Amino acid sequence: MSPRPARATRVVAPHAARTAAPRAAKPNASAKKAAAATTKKAPASATATTKKAPASAKATAKKAPASAKEREAKAKAAAKAAAAATRARAAAAAAKEREAKAKAAAKEREAKAKAAAKEREAKAKAAAKEREARAKAAAKERELQRKAREKAAIEAKKQHEIEARHRAVEAEKQRRAREIERRNAEEQRRLERREEEERRRAEALERKMHSRPYADDPAFLDELRTLLLEARATTAEQIAVAESEADEMLVDRERLEYDDEDGSSVASDIQRDQLKEFSAALRLKIDEIDVALARVDDGSYGRCDECFEPISKARLLAQVPVFTCVSCRANA
Question: Between these two residues, 257 and 152, which has the higher pLDDT value?
Answer: 152
Residue-wise pLDDT tens digits, 47-103: 444 444 455 555 555 556 678 888 888 899 999 999 999 999 999 999 999 999 999
- CA-based angle 145:150:153, to the nearest 5? 125
Q: Is pLDDT above 70 for 40?
A: no
Q: Which of 40-49, 223-232, 267-276 has the highest mean pLDDT?
A: 223-232
Kind and range of the H or E element at 253? helix 218-256
The answer to pTM > 0.75 is no
For residues 320-326, average pLDDT: 88
* Helix residue ranges per DSSP H, the chain: 14-51, 53-208, 218-256, 264-298, 313-318, 326-331
Q: State which amino acid sits at residue 219.
A: A
Residue 176 CB neighbours (<10 A): 14
Residue 304 in contact with residue 325, Cβ under 8 Å? yes
The pLDDT of residue 205 is 62
Backbone torsions φ then ψ of 310, nearest 5 degrees: -65, 140
CATH (one of 1.20.120.910, 3.30.2320.80, 3.30.460.80, 1.20.1740.10) for 212-331: 1.20.120.910
The pLDDT of residue 65 is 65
Residue-wise pLDDT tens digits, 177-228: 999 999 999 999 999 998 998 888 778 667 655 667 888 888 998 999 999 9
Residue 300 in contact with residue 211, Cβ under 8 Å? yes
Residue-wise pLDDT tens digits, 12-33: 344 444 444 444 444 444 444 4
Q: Is pLDDT above 50 for 330?
A: yes
Q: Is pLDDT above 90 for 117?
A: yes
Residue-wise pLDDT tens digits, 96-112: 999 999 999 999 999 99
Backbone torsions φ then ψ of 303, nearest 5 degrees: -100, 135
Residue-wise pLDDT tens digits, 284-317: 889 889 988 988 888 888 888 888 888 898 998 9
Strand partners, 303: 310
Name the residue ranges covered by the structural domains of the chain: 14-119, 212-331
Strand partners, 310: 303
For residues 162-183, average pLDDT: 93
User: What are the CB-based long-range contacts (under 8 Å, 24+) for 234-240?
Assistant: 235/282, 235/285, 235/286, 235/289, 236/286, 238/282, 239/279, 239/282, 239/283, 239/286
